[in-house]
Structure 1
Amino acid sequence: TRMARKFTHISTLLQYQKLSLACMCEAWEDILMQMDLRLTTFVQEKNTKTSVQEEFMQLLMWGKASPELQSLLMNQLTVKGLKKLGQSIESSYSTIQKLVISHLQSGSEALLYHLSELKGMAMWKQKYQPLGLDVSAIEDAINAVGGFILKANELLQVIDNSMKNFKAFFRWLYAAMLRMSDDHVLPELNKMTHRDVAFVADFLSEHFKEAPELYDQKGQYFNVERVGQYLKDEDDDLVTPPETEGNPWFSFLQNSIHLKESPLLFPYHPKKSLHYVKRRVQEQIDICLQKPSEVIGKSVSQVVYMPLYRLYPSEGTVPRFALPSFWNDKSSNLQYIVFTMHTGMSSRIYIMRRPTDLSRSISNWLLAVEFGDFLCSSRNETKKESQFHFLDVGFYDDEMLTVLLKEQVGGEEKGRILAQLPLSSIYMSEQTEEEFRLDVGKRLGEQVNQIPVQTVTLENQCRTLENMKAQYIAANGIRKVSCVLSSNLRHVRVFEMDVEDDGEVDEEEEEPDSQDISGLKEDMEETLDTLVGPENSGAAAVENPALPEDDASSLESVPGNWT
């Protein structure tokens, strides 16, 4: 169990890394390549013998541009385009930087922690070696993750340097283009110290070198933008890898015989992209999992075989399972599965339970559950017949199901309902009148009409969700909460399900009709105005901010012992 839990953490963190990288790639925009493409076009069209670097150097030193460079800046790049490009670079780089720091680095460090613990488990050979854990394979995975962390730190340094370089370069070029167009230049833009001039000159000499070999490879002569190369999922080396010459740490490693191949140092890939190193991490971890999966897989045998449904490729919709929820009741040694049989809205759920002890038999192993007409006795609804369809279902604990229902009256939707369904109300008797007998020669989907149906009615363990089109739920009996997610995936509500009475509210004095939220809010506002007075009503509004419309029903008083 402990090893399985470790592998679950590792698998989840790998997916977390993948999503973080996807968000970083989305934050990087193609507009950032405009400078490289414009400069490449300029090289192809210019008639002068001077290089692009010399053209910009002359503009920096003498304040005058050649007609070709002036045409490039004023007609193709334009002042407005330069400003937009600068804003795009700053926004994209800032977003990528935050994603690396907040998500990619933290996820990689957590992955390194779990792999290190897995290595410690593998060193306990008497217990974990029979399961297929290999210390050397885990060490290779740890080194791969360490190399990924180094590459992420390298990307952060490139982003930081690029933001500083581009900010100084665009500030100088923006002022120069304003002077070309005879526009007013702000005094702060005209101020350039010798240090600023030297900084821009270094940037031009480093980033504006023509590279014919790069044109053959990428179709451009320049690589001014250097962050995007880290985010491309390619096997090619980086177009412009970081400069390591003169770095004291690299010089120390090269001159040290003992540290050069030391297993204590993570491997560094200076010429590879972040995606390449990420793939290497995935490959090494897959090697770690391969042998345990083979060993454990050979020890697993099939206990029960049950044909569920038949696929009909010719039909547009096929019957299948939906809303599956699994639960292991350790106290009763039972395994539960809750599901519906069709893709659309279903008025029934099916509960299957099996004992973990194969020699033990159990009654009511498969039941269908539906709700009666009156779901909550405290609700004052019309006498028209109501129909309830299951939107989502999940186990709350060993004794309770949490369900999300859609109520319809006469074909018209009346609302969404969150309810608690005790298993004791389903299994009221040890055995139903007719026990379901599975015909192994038929699919389960063909025997739906033979499954016994249990009709249940809830009293006070339900709640209508106002101002929210709820669609999904997640329940946790240990934390005593249920989470409801809207259909557009934008609104979330968290409900405390088992709130203990602290003596502050006397339940016997509560009125059953106290669910009108609007009247309650109006009374609160009138009371506040009376206490604080008109002159302090603003302060009262700050202390009691109005809730959004979507969250208004969270103030409702609900019968029962959960809020």
Structure 2
Amino acid sequence: MAFSMPMKQIGVKNIGFRVDLMEWSNKMDLIAIANEKGEIIIQRLNWQKVVIFPPPVESVKVKALAWQPGEAVIAAGYSNGKVSLLDIEKEDEIYTFTCESDIKTLNWTKTNILPKVDKKDIDYSTPNDDDYLSPLPNLNSLTSTSRKSEFCSTKSFAKGPPNFLIISLTSGQILISVFGLLPCGTINISDHIIDSQNYEVHDVQMSSNFNEVFVFLTNNGVLELLIFENNILSKYAQPLFNLAIKHGNIVDTMNYINETIQCIIEAWETVLLEMDNKLTKYANSQPEGSISADFLELLMFGYPSEALEQFLVRDLTEKGLKKLGNSIELSYSTIQKLVIKPLHNAATNLIYHLNSIKGLSRNSYSYSALLDIKCAEKATCSAGSFLIKIFELQQTISQSVTDYKTFWCWLYMAIIRLMDENVPDEVSSTSQQDITYLAEFLNSFDDCIFEKEDGGVGKRKFNLERVGQYLEDCDLQTPIKQHDWNNLLSENECLRDSALIFPHHKNQSLIQECNSVKKNITELFQRPNNQIGENFQLKSRIICSALSADPVHTAFISNEVTPSDMLVATTSANDLIYIEIISKNELKSSRLNFMKGPFTQPQFKDLSDMVVRDLKFYNESTMSLLLRGLSEGRSVNYFIQFGMPEWQATCSHHHITKELDLRQSAVMTNCFEFVDVGCFSKPIDGNTCVQIAVSGSRKVASILSDNCRKIRLYEMEVEDEDDEMEPGLNLFTSREMV
């Protein structure tokens, strides 16, 4: 029975810049194109532009692209080691991290066999969190600045099937992460190669059951396939996915917290920093201890010192003070709104997520290899301290609002009197309570001396504004005063040391507490990477062939029906090797050659030896190849597809051992024995073709040619209509082996 794949050219597009990579989505009719500028352009099949993602920095190149299975998310690896997860629907970067060296390859994998869960064994560790969590408001509606919120949720990662992102680096490291978020294993290839200076990794894939990792590499001129085995990864797969979802929620919440804090800092810097700098400049020009005295003298007797009068009348001025007062009031209002709801809600949600992880850590049967109880408790405790610091900041803001209103009103009245003008009736009265309050407030201006941890003394920077000190990565200059709760803890050791009470770090700023949370969260999620990474063992080293071609092209797909894992690689310019892992201890293999021999059928006599330019799996049963050769004395390109069952029929079976040599044992088959001459009857027009991208689920293909600046688009599996078929690409067939 003949295998047929009718296809029709539906467009030819010239690209302004050289194309480095292209990849079709398996979910939508979208193609991702990476150009020489480092941009990633998402186009529809009709060539409508969807979105352009610029490079993270100038002069970096895109080294790898991979669509997340079943999702509108694409992973991009850059030449500076950065990996970005890009959401096409949101048109935004939703997660990013940086690796130690340049990216070599990116691949997603997924499982097609999900564990059956009995109703009595339902995992209650992943409830619907939205039922318990406070909603996080849109920051753009709460801030008066023109800054656009960059926060983007990662919740889309939990919707699709379980999958891993596998990253290989030019240094030889292989990084594995769940959903591209949670690191869960590292393999260092140099530890498994004798000559660690003379090898190159070409591709890394993972089996559909998560038991094995396949690495194609060149070692001293020989193509090898290394198979790594890990029993923890598959054993703890379901708990690992649960933990990855929790990790995604925490990353999501921390991104929101970072964005909220950034909005608070910008709102504070708008006006308050200007006022603080003016007063600090004045304070630095005065003798130590004179600031409070000068202001108290003005309050009590109505006469300022010469320096203070010059500062008030010339530097501050009546109009400047009034304008500044209004701006400060607006800034405080913005900061209050950002702290009271967004930051508080996010911190509460963070404690919820970390507390649930602390609960998971107590389930030693499912999570002993993934979580450490002490790290979980430490992270939860630091999040609690962060929440306490938010409450403290709220109190400081409320106190500062009262301080400023009273202080500015009195100072405005003082400036008016110094200028011998009439004081407006609405600000002319000052009660005895206000005077007492002002006296205490002004007396704190020179509260600059403090005791260090080592017993010495230091001098604080003069700071009228108390909120700004919480937004710096250093100890507070003016900590909040002790209250009854602190006194109770200091007097009761049993309460002070209780794990149920979050500690209050009196001298730490909000930024310091936030950094502590980040550090502890990083330590919490380091255990899966360490434990699983240490469990990877080299199961088999398969020697495929001596190499005579560069570069090496590879393809991989998991067969859902068999199930099995299928790998193909070029061993020379016109040779391929096929390896199918059919069980834990068995594989089958075959080689395919594109050179004519003495028994080649006469209808191929006009063809010269074919050179493989690129190869891809169209689906589990179809292989796509881009070939170049000579026909009637001229260079031509061919895009052919043939059925995998015909090639698989030539395979020999092998037992997987610690070291397996396929150079002599794998059966060699000539492609002209089962590929129909019709595949080569109509070459592709144009100059040399260099790359293909195919998608069997979307029934599309594309060919890159003409110095990487032209893309030809094809619709696959179309109805065989002669009037609509693209001339020269009407039908490719291959005959079954006899």
Q: TM-score range by the shorter chain?
A: 0.5 to 0.7
Supply the AA of the counterpart residue of 1:362.
E
Over 3 Å counting, the alpha-carbon distance change for 1:262 and 1:158 in structure 2 is same
* Structure 1: distance between partners of 2:458 and 2:494: 40
Could you say if the C-alpha distance between residues 120 and 61 of structure 1 is closer, same or farther in structure 2, counting changes exceeding 3 Å? same
Is residue 541 of structure 2 the alignment partner of residue 281 of structure 1?
no
* Structure 2 residue aligned with 1:12: 252
CA distance in structure 2 between the aligned counterparts of 1:271 and 1:278, rounded to whole angstroms:
14
In 1, Cα distance between equivalents of 2:562 and 2:708? 27
CA drift at 1:62: 2.8
1:269-320 Cα offsets, whole Å, 9 max, x none, are: 11011111111111111111111122344567999xxxxxx99xxxxxxxxx
Q: 1: distance between equivalents of 2:559 and 2:470?
A: 48
Counterpart for residue 454 of structure 1: 714
Instruction: Give the superposition deviation at 1:27.
Output: 1.5
Residue equivalent to 2:637: none
| Residue 222 (1) aligns with residue 462 (2) | yes
Gap runs ≥5 in structure 1: 304-309, 312-327, 336-354, 369-421, 437-443, 457-563
Compare relative contact order (CA 8 Å, sep 6+) and give the higher one, 1 or 2: 2
Alignment partner, residue 209 of structure 1: 446
Within the candidate set 604, 620, 633, 1:362 is matched to 620
Aligned letter for 1:233?
Answer: D
Q: Return the alpha-carbon distance in structure 2 between the equivalents of residues 449 and 65 of structure 1.
A: 76
Counterpart Cα distance in 2 of 1:161 and 1:200: 13
Contact 1:148–1:274 (CA under 8 A) maintained in structure 2: yes
| Cα distance in 1 between the residues matched to 2:324 and 2:582 | 67
1:116-131 to 2 correspondences below 5 Å? 116-129=355-368, 131=369
Q: 1:24: which partner in 2?
A: 264
Q: Tell me, in whole angstroms, the C-alpha distance in 2 between the residues paired with 1:104 and 1:248.
A: 26
1:265 matched to 2:535? The reply is no
Q: Secondary structure at the match of 1:179?
A: helix
Q: Which of 365, 370, 376 is the aligned partner of 1:138?
A: 376
User: 1:287 is aligned with what amino acid?
Assistant: E
SS state at 1:454 partner: strand
Aligned equivalents of 1:59 and 1:329: distance in 2?
A: 86
Identity %: 34
C-alpha distance in structure 1 between counterparts of 2:582 and 2:457, whole Å: 65
**1:367 touches 1:452 (CA, 8 Å); kept in 2?**
no
Task: Show the counterpart of 1:294.
Answer: 530
Q: 1:450 to 1:161 in 2, by over 3 A?
A: closer
TM-score of the superposition, structure 1-length normalised?
0.53
Report the Cα offset of residue 30 of structure 1: 6.6
> Which residue of 45, 57, 62 corresponds with 2:296?
57
Q: Deviations over 1:462-518 (max 9, x none)?
A: xxxxxxxxxxxxxxxxxxxxxxxxxxxxxxxxxxxxxxxxxxxxxxxxxxxxxxxxx
Contact 1:40 1:220 in 2 (8 A): no
1:241 matched to 2:499: no
Equivalent residue, structure 2, for 1:462: none
Take 2:479 and 2:499, find their aligned partners in 1: how far apart are those partners? Answer: 24
Cα–Cα, structure 1 residues 110 and 357, in superposed 2: closer, same or farther, change >3 Å? farther
Q: Deviations over 1:97-139 (max 9, x none)?
A: 222222221111111111111122221211221x321112101
Describe the SS at the equivalent of 2:525.
helix
Per-residue deviation, residues 301-350 of structure 1 (Å, max 9, x unmatched) = 999xxxxxx99xxxxxxxxxxxxxxxx99999999xxxxxxxxxxxxxxx
Contact 2:257/2:347 (8 A) holds in 1: yes
In structure 2, relative to structure 1, the CA distance for the partners of 1:177 and 1:367 (3 Å cut) is farther
Question: Displacement, 1:69?
Answer: 2.0
**Structure 1 residue 186 corresponds to structure 2 residue 431:** no
Distance 1:79 1:366, change over 3 A: farther
Distance in 2 (CA, whole Å) between partners of 1:92 and 1:274 is 18
SS at match of 1:61: helix
CA distance in 2, matches of 1:56, 1:63: 10
Q: Quick one: distance in 2 between partners of 1:8 and 1:172?
A: 51
Structure 1 CA distance for aligned equivalents of residues 277 and 411 of structure 2 = 17
1:194/1:282 CA distance change after superposition, 3 Å? same
Query: Aligned pair 1:114/2:353, yes or no?
Result: yes
Cα-to-partner distance string for 1:400-446 (whole Å, 9 max, x where unaligned): xxxxxxxxxxxxxxxxxxxxxx987737xxxx9xx99xxxxxxx999
CA contact under 8 A between 1:229 and 1:273: conserved in structure 2? yes
Q: CA deviation at 1:232?
A: 1.0
| Matched residue type, 2:446 | K
**What letter corresponds to residue 82 of structure 1 in structure 2?**
L
Give the distance between the partners of 2:710 and 2:310, measured in 1 at CA.
82
Displacement of 1:51 in angstroms is 2.5
1:137-195 deviations in whole A, cap 9, x for unaligned?
10111001001101111111111101110111001111121122233322110122222
Match of 1:426 among 687, 691, 699: 699
Q: Per the alignment, in what secondary structure is the counterpart of residue 226 of structure 1?
A: coil
From the superposition, tell whether residues 285 and 366 of structure 1 become closer, same or farther in structure 2 (CA, over 3 Å).
Answer: farther
User: Is this contact kept in 2: 1:367–1:454, CA < 8 A?
Assistant: no
Q: Which has the higher strand share?
A: 2
Q: Could you tell me which runs of 5 or more consecutive residues in structure 2 were left unpaired when the two chains were aligned.
A: 1-240, 541-549, 552-557, 566-579, 588-616, 627-694, 717-738
- Among residues 97, 100, 108, which one is paired with 2:339 in the alignment? 100
How far apart are residue 56 of structure 1 and its match? 1.8
- Following superposition of structure 1 onto structure 2, how do residues 542-557 of structure 1 map, counting pairs within 5 Å? none
- Give the whole-Å Cα distance in 1 for the aligned partners of 2:254 and 2:420: 55
What is the distance in 2 between the residues matched to 1:5 and 1:332?
Answer: 30
- In the superposition, relative to structure 1, how do residues 128 and 75 fare at CA in structure 2: closer, same or farther (>3 Å)? same
Mapping 1:288-437, distance limit 5 Å: 288-297=524-533, 362-363=620-621, 426=699
Letter in 1 for 2:473: D
| Aligned residues of 1:6 and 1:118 also touching (Cα < 8 A) | yes
Cα gap change, 1:157/1:38 in structure 2, threshold over 3 Å: closer, same or farther?
Answer: same
CA distance in 1, matches of 2:380, 2:503: 10
Distance in 2 of aligned mates of 1:50 and 1:279? 35
With over 3 angstroms needed to count, the CA separation of the structure-2 counterparts of 1:166 and 1:455, relative to structure 1, is same
Alpha-carbon distance between aligned partners in 1 of 2:273 and 2:283, rounded to the nearest angstrom: 16
Number of equivalences: 346
What is aligned with 2:306? 67
Instruction: Mark the CA change 1:238 to 1:362 in structure 2 (over 3 Å): closer, same or farther.
Output: same
State the distance in 1 between where 2:525 and 2:705 align.
36
CA distance in 1 between counterparts of 2:263 and 2:372 reads 34
Deviations 1:21-53 (A, max 9, x none): 222221121742455544454456569x99322
> Do the aligned residues in 2 keep the contact of 1:231 with 1:275 (CA within 8 Å)?
yes
Distance 1:107 1:170, change over 3 A: same
The residue matched to 1:28 in structure 2 has which SS? helix
Residues in 2 aligned to 1:334 and 1:190: alpha-carbon distance in whole angstroms: 87
Q: 1:447 to 1:366 in 2, by over 3 A?
A: farther
1:519 matched residue in structure 2: none
User: How many angstroms apart in 2 are the aligned matches of 1:334 and 1:87?
Assistant: 70
Letter in 1 for 2:699: I
